[in-house]
Amino acid sequence: MSQIKGPAIFLAQFLGDDAPYNNLSNITEWVEDFGYIGVQIPSWDSRVIDIKQAAESKAYCDDLRAQTNELAVTELASHLQGQLIASHPAYDELFDGFAAPEVRGNPKARAEWAVQQMKYVIQASANMGLTCSPSFSGALLWPYMYPWPQRPAGIVEEGFAELARRWLPILNFADEHGVDIAYELHPGEDLHDGASFEQFLEATGNHPRVAINYDPSHFVLQCMDYIDFIDVYASRIKAFHVKDAEFRPSAKAGVYGGYLGWKERPGRFRSLGDGEVDFAQVFTRLTAAGYSSWAVLEWECCFKDSVQGAMEGAPFIDSHLIDVPTKAFDDFAGSGSDKARNRRVLGLD
């Protein structure tokens, strides 16, 4: 049996108002036909979950499970709520749509709403026996990512100190409920690479519930070594989005070519198998590192239709799952253990 569980699928990109995408029962039946055995639920989407009820009622959670056509619920994702924990004023109007109507236009009330939402997600996760919620960190510093004009001395440290101040009560609440917050390291977030993750980790006092949702696609677009990343941060990787990407160098644009449409950018997300991610190595390194949670498809592609992406995703993930060996490949040539012989072979006797 594979150490990593899967295939699973993140439902966020597939939900819609028409069947079979319009409720949990319909959409899980749809993805089950493709071969998925687990689903990651976007906790902000009322078509599949009432997160407040899930936080307050285990009976509601039991009823929710009964709607999944026996597919496992892998995690409750909280990306949109996490985004609103910290938001630079430049993005206030753009991010307002992530929040409830009654707090839009009021950044303070919106942030308070987001904190409560995160606590609902944590409580709901505990009620469902889940131990991790993939999320976003939010961003206070992102407008100042490139140091021009020169950043004022201390602004980075102050930004991470404030980000940690906002998250620490949530992380402590998560610790009380046995739930990790797995930040997806994502451009647009203050936590977007290994270095920024370490800055946040230090600011939180190395909080035990600060974790990573590993998604190699975002590292391809930043020209990072996404394979060695696994070895460096293995102990903090608690969730895994299986998403492909490519970076094709261009004479006209580079990593910062974000004014272009997705099809024109040098870096873009692709359906599984259509990009550059070496998933054989990704699954190998994660398996070697002891990762034993879910492999969850997050589908995003500017060329291929979502239905085709979902259909191809399950067998792709399944083909990369690794059954951990029960014996060494060269056991046939073994000669047993004999301490006295070992000493003779080493010339010690």
Q: Give dist(CA 295, CA 9) in Å, integer.
A: 8
- Tokens, residue 150: 């020169």
Question: What would the pLDDT profile of 294-345 be if each residue is shown by its tens digit?
Answer: 999 999 999 999 999 999 999 999 999 999 888 877 777 777 788 988 898 8
Q: Give dist(CA 239, CA 46) in Å, integer.
A: 23
Element (H, E) at 317: helix 306-320
Read off the amino acid at residue 6. Answer: G
pLDDT score of 98 more than 80: yes
Q: Which CATH fold topology does 5-345 show?
A: TIM Barrel (3.20.20)
Given pLDDT bands bounded at 50, 70 and 90, which one contains residue 258? confident
Residue 327's pLDDT is 82
Residue 27's pLDDT is 98
Question: What would the pLDDT profile of 103-154 be if each residue is shown by its tens digit?
Answer: 999 999 999 999 999 999 999 999 999 999 999 999 999 999 999 999 999 9
Residue 148's pLDDT is 93
Average pLDDT over residues 160-186: 98
Ordered DSSP codes for 48-98: T--HHHHHH-HHHHHHHHTTTTTPEEEEEEBHHHHHTTSB-GGGHHHHGGG
Contact of 114 with 99, CB cutoff 8 Å: yes
- pTM of structure: 0.95
- Longest CA–CA span in the chain (Å) reads 82
Average pLDDT over residues 238-265: 94
Q: Give dist(CA 190, CA 183) in Å, integer.
A: 10
Average pLDDT over residues 226-236: 98
Q: Give dist(CA 97, CA 103) in Å, integer.
A: 10
DSSP code at position 325: P
Residue 337's pLDDT is 82
Given pLDDT bands bounded at 50, 70 and 90, which one contains residue 236? very high
pLDDT score of 349 more than 80: no
* Residue 281 vs residue 343, higher pLDDT: 281
Q: Is the dihedral of CA 7, 11, 16, 18 positive or negative?
A: positive
Average per-residue pLDDT for the chain = 96
- How large a percentage of the chain has pLDDT more than 90? 92
Contact of 321 with 293, CB cutoff 8 Å: no
Q: Where are the domains of the chain?
A: 5-345
Residue 302's pLDDT is 95
Please report how the helices 279-288 and 226-233 are oriented relative to each other, as an axis angle in degrees rounded to 10: 10
